[in-house]
Amino acid sequence: MMITRRNMLVTSVAGVCVLATGRAWSAPPPLKQKQTYKVGFAQTESNNPWRLAETASMQDEAKKLGYQLVYTDAASSAAKQASDVNSMIAQGVDVIFLPPREDKPLVPAILNAKKAGIPVILIDRDVDHALAKPGEDYVTFIGSDFVEEGQRVAAWLAKAVNGQAKIIELEGTTGSSPANDRKKGFDDAIKQWSGMQILASQTGDFARDKGRQVAETLLQAHPETTAIYAHNDEMALGAIAALEAAGKVPGKDVIVVSIDGEKDAVQAIIDGKLAATCECNPRFGPKAFSTMKEYAAGEKLPAYIKNSDSFYDSKNAKDVLSTAF
């Protein structure tokens, strides 16, 4: 039977509805309009330029607005990030900005914030919508369309190699929304070309050294590799180091493509080592805080607020080097 929201709502008391499934539905907690706010930002880790740029953007914007920013760094641990969120709840912040490291383990902390009357805005990464929903358990998700990023890289690569490649894929953090969706976008898109084949796909946790190690192992197992698709630039740069250590010439023997658009990657394009990268903008501050103010003003927000991304290759890398993060 098709269950619609309408036939699921059986009771409605003070904005709280009880669904036929037994699960209570209610909007995320409201946010008061105030002169200043105490705002939580629970970062996942600080081990790459993308994260550092995101943190700087959030800090700069909070400073500009004169808001107090409670900042934590989960040091690559979803468990620590959950306890960071819980401690922000205990400190009574007005609102929490969260890039959930993985898409399931942060859900209980998000629901705790809701229970405590603190709205959560997800930035940069989303959670599993089967467990928590935008417009219900949290306000909205602001970020790039990761499926589309994967598709754009796939299309660019297929064109560059004339539909013929034996590919190693380096995945981001297991269970993170960008890793899930960049894989889905790319893997589904290349099915259009019968000559595009993924030899191996393994996580490098979005980290440069892990990417290097995994690429080294996979290149040994698959010496016939002609292309590497990394879910972020840091792993692509690690893979380039692995190729060079193996006596291969990146850009000639093996073509490397990735996502993010960090300065080192843009430089690697100029140097001919990286072929292309789809931008993923980390500068969330202005949009995150303006969204928060719109929410406080009672505006109806969409469940998803999309960041738009550029695409860099040898044609435009020089133009964007100075502004890249």
| Site residues (vs ligand GYE, CB under 6 A) | 48, 50-51, 124-125, 178, 206, 232, 234, 259-260, 280
Kindly state the smallest distance separating residue 48's Cβ from ligand GYE, in Å.
5
Closer Cβ to ligand GYE, 94 or 124, answer by number: 124
Residue 68 pairs in a beta bridge with 38
Kindly state the smallest distance separating residue 49's Cβ from ligand GYE, in Å.
8
Kindly state the smallest distance separating residue 314's Cβ from ligand GYE, in Å.
21
Task: Please give the angle made by the CA atoms of 89, 90 and 96, to the nearest 5 degrees.
Answer: 20
Q: Which is it for the CA torsion 135, 291, 231, 317, positive or negative?
A: positive
Q: Under a CB-based contact definition with an 8 Å cutoff, are residues 63 and 73 in contact? A: no
Closer Cβ to ligand GYE, 178 or 250, answer by number: 178
Residues near 36 by Cβ (< 8 Å), separated by ≥ 6? 65, 66, 67, 68
Kindly state the smallest distance separating residue 233's Cβ from ligand GYE, in Å.
7
Closer Cβ to ligand GYE, 228 or 280, answer by number: 280
CA distances, 40 to each of 99, 112, 224, 316 (Å): 11, 14, 48, 37
Kindly state the smallest distance separating residue 125's Cβ from ligand GYE, in Å.
5
In this structure, what is the dihedral angle of CA atoms 191, 215, 211, 321, given to the nearest 10 degrees? -80
Closer Cβ to ligand GYE, 61 or 124, answer by number: 124
Cβ-in-10-Å burial (0-12, 13-18, 19+) of 24 comes to exposed
Kindly state the smallest distance separating residue 178's Cβ from ligand GYE, in Å.
4
Closer Cβ to ligand GYE, 125 or 166, answer by number: 125
- The Cα–Cα gap between 268 and 195 comes to 27
- The Cα–Cα gap between 32 and 29 comes to 10
* Residue type at 320 in one-letter notation: V
Closer Cβ to ligand GYE, 50 or 295, answer by number: 50
Kindly state the smallest distance separating residue 87's Cβ from ligand GYE, in Å.
22
Closer Cβ to ligand GYE, 67 or 325, answer by number: 325
β strands within the chain, DSSP E: 9-13, 16-19, 24-25, 38-43, 68-73, 95-98, 120-123, 141-144, 165-171, 196-203, 227-230, 255-260, 276-279, 304-307, 311-313
* CA 14 to chain CA mean position, Å: 35
Kindly state the smallest distance separating residue 148's Cβ from ligand GYE, in Å.
13
Closer Cβ to ligand GYE, 125 or 183, answer by number: 125
